[in-house]
Amino acid sequence: MPKFTITTLGCKVNQFESEAIAQHLKDSCSDDNRWILAQDNKEADLCIVNTCTVTQKASMQSRQAIRRSIRSNPEARIIVTGCYAQIEPDEIKKIEGVNDVIGHFDKHMIPEIILSGKEIFQPCPCPVTSQNVHSFDPIPSTGLGYRTRPFLKIQDGCNSFCTYCIVPYARGPSRSLPTEQVLNNVNKIHQAGYHEVVLTGIHLGNYGLDLYPQQTNLYALLNSIYKSCTIDRVRLSSIEPCELTDDIIKFVAESGPGAGRICHHFHIPLQSGDDVILKRMHRPYTRSFFIDLVEKIHKLLPDAAIGVDTLIGFPGESKKTFENTFSLIEELPVSYLHVFPFSPRKGTPAYTYPDRVNSNVIKEQCHKMRTIGKHKRNVFYNKFKGKTLEILIEGKQSKESGLLRGTTSNYIPVLVKGEDKLKNTITHVTIDKIDDNNLVFGTIS
Ligand code: SF4
């Protein structure tokens, strides 16, 4: 039987899409000629590399992954897809050994492209605009890969064009999976034995605004899931500050516990805590709006995990503007931080902005921010010491520690003693200890 590998870089949406491509490939042939996953990424007949270009580093890692696949599988057909393929096909074509460069809008056709014997070397459409991209990518979207908490992509693309971000140029305008199909997929995931689904998108808060004739929104979707699905947990991936509405926060606070419960976890991109920098970034909120939002969530859902993204070293950032971001994080009940250094992306407005920040200063500021992030996480985890929480056990015993790992609704990873048969069950644990590396230990109760 023919063998394939698939290497994925980047965000949850890319990870979902790789799982969907792999599933589509496995399902697309007859039983005696079925594609199977190669062991150890070797001896494959086909290698797919699903790339990312959100930063310069992501593009470099994508090129490295392509070269690694070619080296390990010199006889294989090499297909490169994803955001880097969409934005920089000419750079990829220069890599000897690449057979196809397939953009976002053809990647659901990979099995058909292979069967046709044709090689594709140019993503289509190129460039991506709101005129030539209209519908949700019809890649089969059950996304049942190896995860205990599978992703489900319900939205793609973005209309916001933040001045530093390349994603809208790679993925096109916002499009949504119709509500009926979201509900069907959530139920399929539950029927397949999963207890949690993670709703993902590029700009999740824009869910439903493009749907026609029945425009809808994320709040209405969450209501429908709550009424029509019996899966134990629904988790939202990242959501923009202005789209995390009072309705949604209130609904999450009032929806659980029980089937269809929305996890007490919000991941909100802040990027900067300074109003001038936010404006230059084309982010549609202010520092005080963000403070009010986090305080509102914390008041209604004091146990909720509130994760925040920060972008450090945007052109024009000064010591004072950085301190505005730092102090905002320091003062708010934030549970954890993701810290990204600014990476100039060709084709975005910020690429041409003057006043670039010195890279050593960016490194120092990222370090400072990560240190406060570690402290915040520690404070958040310690709030639950001695308390009993529910975890979804995600795997078998770790080879190193012999412990199982599970995740709470409010996104605390807990290590516990237990047998492998507990994998994929929801169980109660009492939190015993948080160590210096923020590892959380509990006992099954
Ligand atoms: S909202 Fe801004 S940062 Fe997020 S994908 Fe859209 S353009 Fe990029």
Which residue ranges does the chain devote to CATH 2.40.50? 388-444
List the strands of the sheet with 3-8, edge to edge: 36-37, 3-8, 46-51, 77-82, 100-101
The three-state secondary structure class of 415 is strand
Ligand 1 pocket at CB < 6 A: 158, 160-162, 165, 167-168, 202-203, 240
Dist CA 157 CA 347 (whole Å): 17
In CATH, what number does 388-444 get?
Answer: 2.40.50
What confidence score (pLDDT) does residue 257 get? 59
DSSP H or E run through 271: strand 265-271
**80-95 residue pLDDT tens:** 999 999 999 999 999 9
Ligand 1: residue whose CA is nearest its atom 4: 203
Cβ count within 10 A of residue 89:
19
User: 181-195: buried (b, 16+ CB within 10 Å) or exposed (e) per residue?
Assistant: ebbbbbbbbbeeebb
Tell me the CATH number of domain 151-382, given options 1.10.3720.10, 3.90.1640.10, 3.30.360.10, 3.80.30.20.
Answer: 3.80.30.20
Residue closest to 53 by CA, chosen among 20, 98, 91: 91
Residue 370: exposure state from Cβ atoms within 10 A (0-12, 13-18, ≥19):
middle
What rounded mean pLDDT belongs to the chain? Answer: 93
User: Ligand 1, from 83, 156, 159, 165: best to mutate by most atoms within 8 Å of Cβ?
Assistant: 165
Specify the CATH architecture of the domain 3-116: 3-Layer(aba) Sandwich (3.40)
For the ranges 29-38, 93-102, 132-141, the maximum mean pLDDT occurs at 93-102
Sequence letter at residue 431:
I
pLDDT band of 15, cuts 50, 70, 90: very high
Cβ-contact 1, 35 below 8 angstroms? yes
Torsion of CA 220, 226, 230, 234, to 10 degrees: 80
Which residue ranges does the chain devote to CATH 3.40.50.12160? 3-116
Ligand 1: residue whose CA is nearest its atom 8: 165
Cβ-contact 22, 94 below 8 angstroms? no
Ligand 1: residue whose CA is nearest its atom 2: 162
Average pLDDT estimate for 31-35: 74
DSSP H or E run through 280: helix 275-281
Residue closest to 310 by CA, chosen among 373, 264, 352: 373
Distance 274 CA to ligand 1 centre (A): 18
Cβ-contact 312, 321 below 8 angstroms? no
Distance 159 CA to ligand 1 centre (A): 8
What confidence score (pLDDT) does residue 215 get? 93
Distance 128 CA to ligand 1 centre (A): 15
Per-residue pLDDT at 141 exceeds 70: no
